[in-house]
């Protein structure tokens, strides 16, 4: 790769880190520094390990990613970090030393997105298998690099068994790419849930949810919002340990000093109503809503609100969870309230819809899927709910079944292979119909005239469903366009991949047909031309049927003559 790897020059042991975790809670930081991704002045020590001083009774401003002393920058350059990275993200590199990167061997790609690819690789020094996340930058745009630096700072702050651990950085002096090195996890929850051979039991679901909420509790206690909780971002190893991953959309937040943030976060199927209504002042409730969707999805066996557009998603939320109260509309003052406020209120029907859920699960689902984010409480409260304190209890992670490696990409490949086989079978059938007819065999009845038209329409509907169902966070506008960073909030295009499909098993990502490069929100054809197209097709089919009938009569006449 022609790179260098950055590892922490001096790191404490895992046991020591766990002992410190409860003591060193990161305190909130100023708004500007928070959105930039810098640690709190009070919570995070400087690169030399000494705490920062408070000046005049006020908190010293948190460091910006590129704000490092000239001497420290010179040391980083001498260590091998490229100038473009030191200039913008020097704070994120503080205390990390480079290592030769030719000791990494790429094995295969295990994930991809608009801004990054993930590879399985081998560390040839230790023999360990790791995951390399390659982040691409557009012409080394400073804001893109700052956004990446925020992700690094967040990952370096977090230290929990249920949060993915950043082990180092790999960069090249000759290219504009950066590799983040993580421990390798064999599965993700989306891939497992999409596997036809996997069926989760209630103790397993409790085990996974307990780990998810524990990881979120740690993030929120350290003033971090993940902002993209979904199945494909929940990784699992063969020991049953779940880890929250992909902090590309994560940000620091300060509950005491609110500042505007972008509402263009969270994959559509897991996006809370306040974000769909344009909220820019939010907190831990957005992650808890996503966790509630995951819980209901695991119990239900499929996504509970698979919207294809933001309007449809909001409609599904109101139909299931009820529309907001008049009091909520008044106090929230959401930007899109006047546009999306329903004329008639919707009644909440979670208990009726999920009446087959375990009795202990319904109260937790009701809480996490509350329309008012203040009513979702906290991850700590969720961990103390009756769902986890009643039988059957959550199983131990080590007792979970061992599955073959399964990731969301594997599910996509299975879907693509199934489509390929269907297309091949259809092509083979077409070929059979066009071969010269064997006159020695009795001819079958003519096909129904409308059968081919109906097949084509069915295929178009499937294509529309798959395309609109797409829902990946990678398709959002560049995440660094956050409101607090001085850039306009992105236009309202959903991940709109968002909206990936109704048939998706668990995750929001559904592969679309090859050759499609557009996310549709409507028909693939001109409705006004549909009648003309049908008439033309019908005329052609009628002519073929008449010719076929005439040929059949001739053959019968020949048989009688003989």
The span from the CA of 411 to the CA of 389, in Å, is: 34
DSSP assignment of 78-116 equals: HHT--HHHHHHHHHHHTTEEEEESTTEEEEEEEEE-SSE
Nearest to 407 by CA among 197, 204, 212, 192: 192
Among 159, 221, 228, 254, the one annotated catalytic: 228
**H/E run at residue 121:** strand 116-123
CA separation for the pair 246, 155 (Å, rounded): 10
Please tell me the total number of residues recorded for the chain in this structure.
562
Supply 43's token pair.
Answer: 């919570």
Crossing angle of the two packed helices 83-93 and 142-157, in degrees rounded to 10: 30
Rounded to an integer, what distance in angstroms lies between the CA atom of residue 450 and that of residue 427? 19
Asked whether 104 and 170 are in contact (CB, 8 A), the reply is yes
Can you read off the two tokens belonging to residue 385?
């709910």
How far is the C-alpha of 130 from the C-alpha of 181, rounded, in Å?
7
Range 216-252 burial, b when 16+ CB lie within 10 A, else e = bbbbbbbbbbbbbbbbbbbbbeeebbbbbbbbbbbbb
Pair 276, 317: CB distance under 8 Å? yes
Q: Nearest CA to 165 among 207, 116, 131?
A: 131
Q: What CA–CA distance (Å, rounded) separates 97 from 513? A: 44
Tell me the H-state helices in 384-473: 386-389, 408-434, 451-468
133 labeled binding residue? yes
Token reading at 299 = 């119990």
Q: Say if residues 255 and 458 touch (Cβ distance below 8 Å).
A: no
Active site residue 254: no
Are 40 and 152 in contact, with CB atoms under 8 Å apart? no
Return the biggest CA–CA distance within the chain: 115
- Tokens 């109101």 belong to 318
Binding residues: 133
User: Which residue positions form the known binding site for ATP?
Assistant: 133
* Residues with a known catalytic role: 228
């Amino acid at each position: 790769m022609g790179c260098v790897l950055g590892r922490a020059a001096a790191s404490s042991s895992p046991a020591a880190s766990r002992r410190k975790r409860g003591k060193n809670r990161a305190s909130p930081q100023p708004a500007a520094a928070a959105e930039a991704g810098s640690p709190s002045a009070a919570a995070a020590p400087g690169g030399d390990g000494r705490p920062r001083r408070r000046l005049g009774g006020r908190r010293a401003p948190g460091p910006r990613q590129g704000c490092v002393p000239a001497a420290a920058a010179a040391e980083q350059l001498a260590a091998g970090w490229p100038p473009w990275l030191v200039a913008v993200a020097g704070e994120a590199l503080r205390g990390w030393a480079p290592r030769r990167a030719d000791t990494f061997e790429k094995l295969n790609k295990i994930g991809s997105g608009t801004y990054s690819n993930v590879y399985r690789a081998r560390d040839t020094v230790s023999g360990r298998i790791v995951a390399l996340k390659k982040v691409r930058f557009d012409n080394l745009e400073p804001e893109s690099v700052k956004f990446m630096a925020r992700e690094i700072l967040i990952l370096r702050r977090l230290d929990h068994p249920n949060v993915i651990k950043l082990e180092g950085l790999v960069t090249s002096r000759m290219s504009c790419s950066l590799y983040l090195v993580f421990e390798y996890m064999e599965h993700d929850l989306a891939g497992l849930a999409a596997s036809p051979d996997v069926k989760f039991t209630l103790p397993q679901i409790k085990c996974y949810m307990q780990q998810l909420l524990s990881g979120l509790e740690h993030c929120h206690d350290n003033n971090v919002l993940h902002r993209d909780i979904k199945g494909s971002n929940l990784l699992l190893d063969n020991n049953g340990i779940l880890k929250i991953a992909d902090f590309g959309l994560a940000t620091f937040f300060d509950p005491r000093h609110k500042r505007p943030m972008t509402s263009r976060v969270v994959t559509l199927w897991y996006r809370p109503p306040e974000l769909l209504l344009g909220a820019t002042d939010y907190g831990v409730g957005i992650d808890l809503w996503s966790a509630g969707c995951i819980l209901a999805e695991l119990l239900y066996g499929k996504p509970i609100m698979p919207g294809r557009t933001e309007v449809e998603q909001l409609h599904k939320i109101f139909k299931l969870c009820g529309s907001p109260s008049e009091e909520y509309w008044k106090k929230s003052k959401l930007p899109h309230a006047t546009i999306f406020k329903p004329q008639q209120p919707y009644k909440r029907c979670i208990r009726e819809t999920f009446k087959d859920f375990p009795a202990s699960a319904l109260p937790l689902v009701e809480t996490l899927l509350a329309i008012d984010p203040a009513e979702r409480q906290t991850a700590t409260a969720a961990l103390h709910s009756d769902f986890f304190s009643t039988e059957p209890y959550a199983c131990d992670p080590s007792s979970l079944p061992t599955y073959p490696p399964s990731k969301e990409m594997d599910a996509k490949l299975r879907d693509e292979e199934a489509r390929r086989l269907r297309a091949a079978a259809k092509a083979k059938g077409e070929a059979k119909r066009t071969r010269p007819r064997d006159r020695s065999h009795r001819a079958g009845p003519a096909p129904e005239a409308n059968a081919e038209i109906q097949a084509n329409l069915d295929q178009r509907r499937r294509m529309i469903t798959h395309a609109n169902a797409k829902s990946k966070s990678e398709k959002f506008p560049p995440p660094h366009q956050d409101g607090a960073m001085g850039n306009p909030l992105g236009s309202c295009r959903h991940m709109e991949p968002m909206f990936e499909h109704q048939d998706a098993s668990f995750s929001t990502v559904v592969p679309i047909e090859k050759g499609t490069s557009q996310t549709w929100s409507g028909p693939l054809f001109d409705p006004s031309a549909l009648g003309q197209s049908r008439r033309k097709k019908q005329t052609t089919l009628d002519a073929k049927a008449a010719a076929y009938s005439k040929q059949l009569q001739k053959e019968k006449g020949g048989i009688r003559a003989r």
